[in-house]
């Protein structure tokens, strides 16, 4: 059984969905600490040939709270975000097909940060026909005080995983020998270079999945989902 584990990210890049699509079960962390400078509540889209950062504003709170304990700001202007996306992509080939999905995601009526992002990931998986089972980490019967590699191995054992897939950035974080001791094979997914036409501009890589969906048919996205190396 192939397992992946990741934090929740808002409209993450294609590599996130390559990992999600490659495994049988996928655990999303809700009970780990929110980090300000990561990609949990922000991402990049294309605007006028350059990348533009979009952000879900959060209520001011302790920096030590878990993701599941953070809330969207009462001042979050969803209409403004949707207008940014419309202006950026209104001439994209799949804009009309995709915009109702984006409106559902942005207008989702839940102020909890984790619930809001979890919903967006599940909505995109439905659109992309990714059928991987998604599990919320806090529902698992493990010692949740564990950190890093120890927590990952505990989750693998709880779900009876034989293979653990991780993003390529985790190579320095995990020891194949430690996984092997638990009869778990450790693999890393490395995305191959991906390029597609973005209007008439020079290509800007690794933007939000939203960008991939705006410029590519579902058939082509399925090919991109398989365009990686397993290390």
Give tens-digit pLDDT for 163-190: 999 999 888 899 999 999 999 999 999 9
State how far the Cα of 125 lies from the Cα of 142, in Å rounded to an integer: 27
pLDDT digits (tens, 9 = 90+) for 80-130: 999 999 999 999 999 999 999 999 999 999 999 999 999 999 999 999 999
Task: Render pLDDT for 204-221 as a digit per residue (tens, 0 to 9).
Answer: 999 999 999 999 999 999
- Cβ neighbour number for residue 62 with a 10 Å cutoff: 9
Contact (CB, 8 A) for 191 and 227: yes
184, 186, 195, 200: which is closest to 224 by C-alpha?
Answer: 195
Which segments of 75-215 does DSSP mark as H helices, in order?
A: 78-89, 95-106, 113-128, 148-158, 176-181, 209-215
Q: What does pTM read for this prediction?
A: 0.96
**Cα separation, 89 vs 8, whole angstroms:** 24
- Work out the mean pLDDT of the chain and round it to a whole number: 97
What is the phi/psi pair of residue 97, to 5°?
Answer: -70, -35
Q: For residue 229, what is the enclosing H or E element?
A: strand 228-230
């Amino acid at each position: 059984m192939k397992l992946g584990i990741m934090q929740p990210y808002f409209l993450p890049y294609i590599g996130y969905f390559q990992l999600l699509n490659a495994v049988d079960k996928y655990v999303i962390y809700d009970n780990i600490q929110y980090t300000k400078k990561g990609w949990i509540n922000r991402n990049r889209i294309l605007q006028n040939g350059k990348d533009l950062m979009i952000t879900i504003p959060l209520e001011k709170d302790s920096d030590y709270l878990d993701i599941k304990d953070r809330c969207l700001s009462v001042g979050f202007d969803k209409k403004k975000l949707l207008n940014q996306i419309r202006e950026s992509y209104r001439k994209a080939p799949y804009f009309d097909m995709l915009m109702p999905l984006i409106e559902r995601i942005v207008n989702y009526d839940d102020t909890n940060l984790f619930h809001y992002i979890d919903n967006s990931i599940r909505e995109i998986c439905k659109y992309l026909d990714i059928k991987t089972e998604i599990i919320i980490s806090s529902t698992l019967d493990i010692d949740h005080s564990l950190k890093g590699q120890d927590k990952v191995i505990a989750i693998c054992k709880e779900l009876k995983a034989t293979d653990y897939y991780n993003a390529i950035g985790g190579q320095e974080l995990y020891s194949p020998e430690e996984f092997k001791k638990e009869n778990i094979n450790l693999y890393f997914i490395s995305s191959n270079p991906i390029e597609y036409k973005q209007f008439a501009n020079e290509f800007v890589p690794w933007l939000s999945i939203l960008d991939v969906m705006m410029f590519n048919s579902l058939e082509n996205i399925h090919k991109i989902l398989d365009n990686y190396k397993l290390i």
